[in-house]
Structure 1
C-alpha cells in the first residue's frame, strides 16, 4: 500500500515537472498561448499617444492572448536608451525608427519576408515598402514618408517682396536664396536682428540637406563611393560660412538648440526655419488657435513650406524616406510564434487607421487603405499639400537602404566622430571650410577605406 502510494506521488511529480518544462516552448509555439509584445515609440505627433492607445486596445480585442506594452520615449533620450538595449541584446520587439543598416548589422533585426502576405504587399503604394528594406529584405513597415524642407513666415516673406509661391512651384538656387536673404535681414524695433534663416547647431540635418542639393546623396553614394572629398563639399561648407559671415544666420548658431530655433521663428526673429516638415503647418495652426483662446501670447503666423535651395549647377533634391516600426528579436530568442505575434502587432500599428499619422503630419500616405480612409480629411492647408507634392517629385532616396550594412555602420561612425564636431567648429568659427574639407578627406580615407 505504501509502495503504491509512493509510486503514485512520484508519477504526479513527474507529470507536474514535465508540464512545467514543456510549458515554455510548447506555449510559445501555440498561436493561442499568452504572449507579450513590447513596443518603444516616440510622440510622433501631438495626439499620437492617444491614437496609439486606441490602436492597441482595438488590437487586443481581436487578439486577447497578446498583450501589447508600449513605452513612449523622448526624442532627446530615446535613441540612447534604445542603443543600450540593442547592444545588450535585449531590444524591444518593435521600435519606431527608419530602417537602419547598423541595426540589421547586429543580427537582431527580424526579417519580415516570411510573414508578408500578398494582401499586405499590395496595400502599400508603389515605392513605399522599399523604404523599409535593406538589401532587398523587409525589416520594418513604414507608417509614413518623412519629408524635410524649410519653413517660412508668410508675413515676413511678403513684406520683403519674396515670391514664396513661385519658390514653392519652381524651387530656388543658392544665389537666389542669398539675394532673398539680403532683403530679409533687418533691425527690429527692439534693436534685435531679424535673420533670414535660423537652424540649430546640434544636428547634421542642415548640411545633409544642403549637400544633397549639391549633387551629393550622402557621405557615400549607393555604391559605397565616398562623396565628401572634393570641391562639392568645400562649396557647401563655404556656402554655410558665407551665410554666417554676411549675418544671414546668427553668429551664435553653434549654441542654438532646436527649441531656441523654434522660439526665434515664433518670435519673428527669423524669416525661415530649417529644417521644417509639413507638420509645422498643423502645429502653427494649433498655436494660432491657442493665441486666439488666450492660452499663449505671441504673433500668429501663416506658415509657408519651402524647398531647400540647390547649388546653381546642381539639381534640386528633397530629403525623404520612411519612418515606422522595425521588428527585432532578442539574444535570448523567444521563438517563432512570438515573431509571428510581433508581426501581427507591427501590421496593425501600420494599418489603415494608423494613417492618421500621415494625415496629422501632412505627409504622403504609404498604404492605399490609409489614403482611402482619410480622403477629404486633410489637416494641412492646400498650399502646403501642393508644395509637399512638388517637393516629393525630387525625392532623394536614403543611401543607407542600398549600402552593405557594415559600410552603413562605418558611415554612421564617420558622421558621429568626424562630421558632427567639424560642423560645430564651422558654426563657431573655429575651423575654416578648407580645413574641414581636408579633414573629411583624410579621415574618410582612414575610416571608410576610400
Structure 2
C-alpha cells in the first residue's frame, strides 16, 4: 500500500509538472520579505492550510494572517481549513492517503514519521532556504527531524512539569524562587510534600488514573533520569534501575500518605489544588497560571463560575526534582507546521508553500501562539516579537522558570523504528499501566513491578537491546 501510494504521488507530481502553467519552475529562494514589503512576481497560486484551534481564537487569527500574507504576496492566496482537535488527525490522514494532502498542516512531532514513510511530507532541508531554518532553535528543530532531515517548523515546545499553591509551599518551608531558578533535589521535594500534607490536603497529586499513568512516567520520570522510552543508543530504557528508583519513590510517597494511593483523574489534579486539597500537582503547564487567575477573579466577583469549594491560589510553576546523580531536564513535546506533497506540487508551488510555512511559523504569528500558551519562543524572530507584546499580568518567577525549563528539554533519540515504538507501547499498555495502578494501591511492590517490566522488556527486545544498568 505504501509503495502504491508513493508511486501514485510520483505520477501525480509528474503530470502536474508537465501541465503546470508558466513552463519552467521558479528558482526564487523561499524567503519572506520584511513586514510591509510585497512581492508581485509569479503566477497566481493557492496554498491550503489545515489547522485545529491551537489557541481559542487561532482560526480567527489565521484568517487575519491569510489576509496579511496576501498583501505581502498579491499573487498568493492562503486558504484556511479549520478542524477540531477531535477530527484534525483523521482528516489529515484521509486527505494525505487520497493524494489530496493540504499544503501545510499543524502536527505533533510524533506523527511526522508516518508521513515521511508514506512519502507525503516535504523535506524542508531540500526545499527551504537554510537561512530561514537557521531562525529556529536547534533543540526544537530536532523534534521535527528524521534521519537528519527537517520536515516541519516548530511553533512551540510545550513543557509539562509541576504546579503548586505558592503560599502553601512557602508555609512548608520551600524557597520557591530558588527552586524555580535552580531546581531542587528529590530529598528537598520529599521534605516539602511531607510538610504540606495534612488531614485535608495531600502534599502531592498527579494525573495517573488508567492510561494517564504513562504521563507520570514521561513527566515525573525525568527525576530518575528517564527522558524517553529509549536511550540515545536505542536501548529500551524502562528496564534500567532508573525505573526501579522511580517506582520506589512512588511506593514511598503513597505509603507515607503524601500522595493518594489511588489513580487521580486528569480533570481533578488542578481542581484539587484550587480547592486546597493538594499543595503540588502534576502534570502542569505554564498556561495553568491563566486558568487559576481566572478562577481567582471568579471567586472575587462571586459570579458562580468559580470551581466549587475553591480558594484563592497563588500559582507557581515548578521543575520536577532530581534524584542523586541525575541532571535536571524537563519533559517537552513539540507541535509545528509541516508541508506536504499533493497533486498541485510543482517546484514553483513548493516555493510558494515555503513562503507561507515560514510566515505562519515565525515572527508575530508564532509569538501570538507562544503568548497564549505562556511559553517562550523557539525562534529568534518569535522571541523578538514576543518581547514587544503585552502578554498580560504574569508572575515573573513562573515566566523565568518556564523559559529555563524549555532549554533543558531533550528530544527523543533519532532512529527509533516503528516496530520498536509499537513494542514499547504494548509493554506500556499491557504491563506498566495496570501494574502502576496496583503499585499505587499497595497491591504490588516496586521491586515486583520492576521485575515484570524487565522480564517483558528483555523478552520483547532481547537483553542486548535493553538498558540493564
Q: TM-score scaled to structure 1, two decimals?
A: 0.81
Partners in 2 of 1:272 and 1:325 — Cα distance?
34
Within 5 Å, which residues of 2 pair with 1:372-411? 372-377=384-389, 378-379=391-392, 380-393=394-407, 395-399=408-412, 402-404=413-415, 407-411=416-420
Partners in 1 of 2:381 and 2:172 — Cα distance?
43
Say if 1:226 and 1:22 are closer, same or farther in 2 by CA, change over 3 A: closer
- For the 8 Å contact 1:27–1:33, the answer to whether it is kept is no
Alignment partner for residue 48 of structure 2, among 19, 37, 48? 37
Aligned equivalent of 1:7? none
Aligned equivalent of 1:26? 20
CA offsets 1:287-335 (integer angstroms, 9 cap, x no match): 33344444422423211011101112322212235321122335x6744
Runs of at least 5 residues in structure 1 that lack an aligned partner in the other structure: 1-20
- For the 8 Å contact 1:281–1:303, the answer to whether it is kept is yes
Aligned equivalent of 1:441? 454
Say if 1:70 and 1:286 are closer, same or farther in 2 by CA, change over 3 A: farther
Aligned equivalent of 2:5? none
Partners in 1 of 2:101 and 2:459 — Cα distance?
31
Partners in 2 of 1:357 and 1:351 — Cα distance?
10
Q: After TM superposition, give the deviation of residue 446 of structure 1 in Å.
A: 4.7
Aligned equivalent of 1:10? none
Partners in 2 of 1:279 and 1:309 — Cα distance?
20
Q: After TM superposition, give the deviation of residue 269 of structure 1 in Å.
A: 1.8
- For the 8 Å contact 1:321–1:397, the answer to whether it is kept is no
Within 5 Å, which residues of 2 pair with 1:46-445? 46-61=56-71, 62-63=73-74, 65-74=76-85, 78-79=88-89, 82=92, 91-100=101-110, 102-103=113-114, 104-125=116-137, 127-188=139-200, 193-201=201-209, 202-203=211-212, 204-253=214-263, 256-295=264-303, 296-297=305-306, 298-330=310-342, 334-354=345-365, 355-377=367-389, 378-379=391-392, 380-393=394-407, 395-399=408-412, 402-404=413-415, 407-429=416-438, 431-445=444-458
Q: After TM superposition, give the deviation of residue 433 of structure 1 in Å.
A: 3.2
Q: What secondary structure does 1:258 align onto?
A: coil
Q: After TM superposition, give the deviation of residue 137 of structure 1 in Å.
A: 1.0
Say if 1:329 and 1:169 are closer, same or farther in 2 by CA, change over 3 A: same
Q: What secondary structure does 1:434 align onto?
A: helix
Runs of at least 5 residues in structure 2 that lack an aligned partner in the other structure: 1-14, 26-41
Say if 1:252 and 1:90 are closer, same or farther in 2 by CA, change over 3 A: farther
Q: After TM superposition, give the deviation of residue 421 of structure 1 in Å.
A: 4.2
The count of residues paired between Structure 1 and Structure 2 equals: 416
Q: After TM superposition, give the deviation of residue 383 of structure 1 in Å.
A: 1.0
- For the 8 Å contact 2:139–2:410, the answer to whether it is kept is no
Say if 1:183 and 1:140 are closer, same or farther in 2 by CA, change over 3 A: same
Q: Which has the larger Rg?
A: 1
Say if 1:77 and 1:258 are closer, same or farther in 2 by CA, change over 3 A: farther
Partners in 1 of 2:276 and 2:417 — Cα distance?
40
Say if 1:427 and 1:220 are closer, same or farther in 2 by CA, change over 3 A: closer
- For the 8 Å contact 2:124–2:152, the answer to whether it is kept is yes
Say if 1:37 and 1:448 are closer, same or farther in 2 by CA, change over 3 A: farther
